[in-house]
Chains A and B, each alone.
Chain A
Amino acid sequence: MALLTLKDATIKFGGLTAVNKVSFDIEKGDLFGLIGPNGAGKTTCFNLITGVYEPTSGDIDFLGTRICGMAPNKIAEIGICRTFQNIRLFGTLSALENVMVGAYLRHKTSLLGGFMLTPAVIKETAELRKKAMELLSVVNLTDIAHSRACDLSYGKQRRLEIARAMATDPKLILLDEPAAGMNPQEKDELRDVVFKIRDDYEKTVLLIEHDMKFVMGLCEKIVVLDHGEEIAYGDPSEIRNNPKVIEAYLGEPV
């Protein structure tokens, strides 16, 4: 059974159809790419999967459960977490605390205990802190753990977002343009991080990216959107040679 299934997912904002009958399956362990020109509906697709929007029609199933209309925090709980295209970190919190917010999803103590700071809560907080530190080391940010998130450089903020999403223990992680604004060296580091997430942590990854070299070198399956419609699906070599994709997006063969 596929991990995530989109079946004719459609959303309309008034007269505008932002995503029109998009269908694809993501299997466990995939490195799945979602590409397309600006305004093609990629981020809207992410918003549909993570519950920010409810599809007008169509189905989205995760592990066999229909997740349309579920609250975003419920969807995070069942195992889908994301990063944001326009970075959304908790600015005045430290990098470590940002990751701890993600890890907090799997807390077991009650909020009442939090107000009383029971020994169980102290213990759990220490555990979450330890887990967050580990994740910071995965994205090579241990040295800035106590800096405020808003003071970090762009590339570090992007990696911090990935660590925060990883902290929620997702089965599927959605990365919205993770390489945007990064220099070539940072992109290489990011590629290693994404492979590590998939291979060492056994997560499934769905990512939106504009940098074709990055996507082609990373993803095993790719879906191409244009004007909200799915125009192609396949592995990188198929996408590279698909005339529709070249016309809509690539411009010339890469």
Chain B
Amino acid sequence: MSLSKILGTRVLSVVLAIAFCFGLDAFVTGQLNEYVVRLVMLAGLYVTLSVSLNLINGITGQFSIGHAAFYMVGAYSAGIVSNAIYKTQPLAAPAYMIISMLIGAVFAAIAGLIVGMPSLRLKGDYLAIVTLGFGEIIRIIVLNQNQWGGSYGYAIAPKYQAGWLIWLLAIICIATCRNLLKSAHGLAFLAVREDEIAAQAMGVNVTKTKVVAFIVGAAFAGAAGALFGHMESFINPDLFKMEVSFLVLTMVVLGGSGSITGSVLAGATLFILPELPRIVSFKMSLGLLLSVLVGIGVLVWMNRKFMEKYHEPDKLKRTLVVAGANIGLAVLAVVVGKLLNNIPQFGTTTYDANKIRYMILAVVLLVIMLLKPTGLLGHHEFSWDWVKRVLNRNKAGEASA
């Protein structure tokens, strides 16, 4: 590829990214209610968090489950600095955002360096325990700082809901990780994940690679934390509990460890999933609920025991048969559920979907992990080449038919 072409694509993608962010902001804040706006902004933050954790966990293979700590360090450090400036010399709101993002990123990067150090000696479960412990230590330290409000919380000025900036950060984070994987430098990170001893024997500086992964991953989480702090304008340590780390970890694993596309998809959708019943509220009768649960069990069993053994050379036919079987099963489950409702107790006992939303989330996660143990996308990435390949394959199929 020629230099001018590379530069052309670059400029085009930057313009598109900025246009997307402002377009999103204009559309979302103008048209939708506050709750949905908040969800869209949170989605952007979670995309940043999951993609940055994917750099540490999925790409470099360092099992870290303390990502909420970096998020927290970013939020608090940015908030403290921003408050100090706000008192002495008020600036325009977007200026705060830029300063806060940088401050959050720098402090979180320092935290990343500190956590990255033990990763040089620890592996797998042991590293996971250390990162988990680190996350809790940071939270408890902040919890006991009265000058930062302790458990009451800490007010951050100014309040600024920068949807465009949140999504711009997400895009920068995605672009950074994707760039790394496109370059030969990314291979060093992947090599460390695959086999540390071999990577080192091939001259890869394993120490540097791991520490850089932690620093860059933490910095993005810190920047996201800074934006989160200004978005909420009031934060407390409970917002950065272990659950957040686990949610982000779930996103990475569910999307397919190592796959940026997977992290983005899971990051943008996974936390919305339990919110959906709030938006579209519906009730389920006991009969339908039981039938659906049994149906899901049968579905998993069918796909694992039967469909995996079903070999059909024609891909289209295979996809149709599998999809047909699954849809048929779903319809059957609903029909059986309606029939079960005729039994007195089963029909009259109802559950609000909103109340059992975490159960729904758990079932969805279980099903995905049982059917796709490597995550939705495995190690795959979305790319235009892939789209072209699929289209060409279909064309070739049509031609031969």
Whether B203 pairs with A168 at a CB distance below 8 angstroms is yes
Query: Which of B192-200, B222-230, B246-254 binds A?
Result: B192-200
Are the C-beta atoms of A101 and B212 separated by less than 8 Å?
no
Task: Kindly identify which residue among A72, A111, A164 contacts B185, using a CB–CB cutoff of 8 Å.
Answer: A111
Known: A52-B197, A115-B176. A93 touches B190 (CB 8 A): yes
Q: Most chain-B CB neighbours within 10 Å: which of A82, A115, A125?
A: A115
Check A101–B199 contact: CB distance below 8 A. yes
Decide: B203 and A93 in contact? CB cutoff 8 A: no
Q: Are B183 and A125 in contact (CB under 8 A)?
A: yes
Q: Which residues of B contact A104 (CB under 8 A)?
A: 184-185, 187-188, 202-204
Restricting to B201-224, which residues have a CB under 8 Å from any CB of A? Answer: 201-206, 208, 212, 216
Q: Decide if A251 is an interface residue (CB 8 Å cutoff).
A: no
Does B379 lie at the interface of the complex (its beta carbon under 8 Å from any beta carbon of A)? Answer: yes
C-beta contact mask, B173-186 vs A, less than 8 Å → 1, else 0? 00010011011111
User: Which residues of the partner chain B approach A93 to less than 8 Å between Cβ atoms?
Assistant: 187, 190-191, 194
A101 contacts B201, CB within 8 Å?
A: no
Q: Judge if A186 is at the interface, Cβ distance under 8 Å.
A: no
Question: Contacts A101-B191, A111-B212 given: A117-B197 contact, CB under 8 Å?
Answer: no
Report, as a range, how many residues of chain A touch the other chain.
Answer: 35 or more
B204 touches A73 (CB 8 A): yes
A121 at the interface (CB under 8 A from B): yes
Q: Which A residues lie within 8 Å of B179 (CB)?
A: 114-117
Assembled-state Cα–Cα distance A111/B188 (Å): 10
Q: Mark A97-118, 1 if CB is under 8 A from B, else 0.
A: 1001111110101010111110
A25 to B1, CA, bound (A): 48
Interchain CB contact under 8 A, A105 and B194: no
Chain A residues lying within 8 Å of B180, measured Cβ to Cβ, are 114-115, 117
B203 x A76 contact (CB < 8 A): yes
B12 within 8 A of A: no
Q: Does A122 reach chain B (CB closer than 8 Å)?
A: yes
A77 and B183: CB pair below 8 A? no
Task: Render A32-60 as a binary contact track against B, CB cut-off 8 A, 1 for contact.
Answer: 00000000000000000010100000000
Q: Which chain A positions have C-beta within 8 A of B208?
A: 111
Query: Once the chains are docked, how many angstroms separate the CA of A29 from the CA of B291?
Result: 75
Instruction: Please indicate the chain A residues that have their CB under 8 angstroms from the CB of B280 in the complex.
Output: none
Determine whether the beta carbon of A121 is less than 8 Å from that of B201. Answer: no
Note all chain A residues with C-beta closer than 8 A to B203: 73, 76-77, 81, 102, 104-105, 168
Indicate if the CB atoms of B198 and A89 lie closer than 8 Å: yes
Bound CA–CA A111/B194 (angstroms): 20
Interface of A is mostly: helix
Mark A174-199 against chain B: 1 for CB-CB distance below 8 A, else 0.
00000000000000000000000000
Cβ-closest chain A residue relative to B212: A111
Which among B187, B195, B201 has the greatest number of chain A C-beta atoms within 10 A? B201
Find chain B residues with CB under 8 A from A82 CB.
201
Chain A residue nearest to B209 in the complex (CB): A111
Tell me the nearest residue of chain A to B188, going by C-beta.
A104
Are A76 and B201 also in contact (CB < 8 A) when A104-B184, A104-B187 are?
yes
Q: Decide yes or no whether A71 CB sits under 8 A from chain B.
A: yes
A88 interface contact, C-beta 8 A: yes
Q: Pick the contact of B183 from A84, A90, A103, A117 — CB < 8 Å?
A: A117
A90 near B182 with CB under 8 A, answer no
B279, CB-defined interface residue at 8 Å: no
**Structural contact, B191 and A73, CB atoms closer than 8 A:** no
Q: Which of A88, A97, A117, A128 contacts B198 (CB 8 A)?
A: A88
For B205, the closest partner residue in chain A by CB is: A73
User: What is the chain A residue whose CB lies nearest that of B379?
Assistant: A92
Q: What 0/1 readout, one digit per residue, does chain A (69-86) give for beta carbons within 8 Å of chain B?
A: 001110011000110100
**Does A217 count as interface, using CB distance less than 8 angstroms?**
no
Does A119 belong to the interface (CB within 8 Å)?
A: yes
Tell whether, in the assembled complex, residue B206 and residue A122 are in contact, meaning their CB atoms are under 8 Å apart. no
- What would be 15 A-B contacts, judged by CB atoms less than 8 Å apart? A76-B203, A84-B201, A91-B194, A93-B191, A100-B187, A101-B204, A103-B184, A104-B184, A109-B185, A114-B183, A119-B7, A122-B6, A125-B184, A168-B202, A168-B203
Q: Which 5 A-B pairs have the closest CB atoms?
A: A114-B185, A105-B203, A76-B203, A90-B194, A117-B179
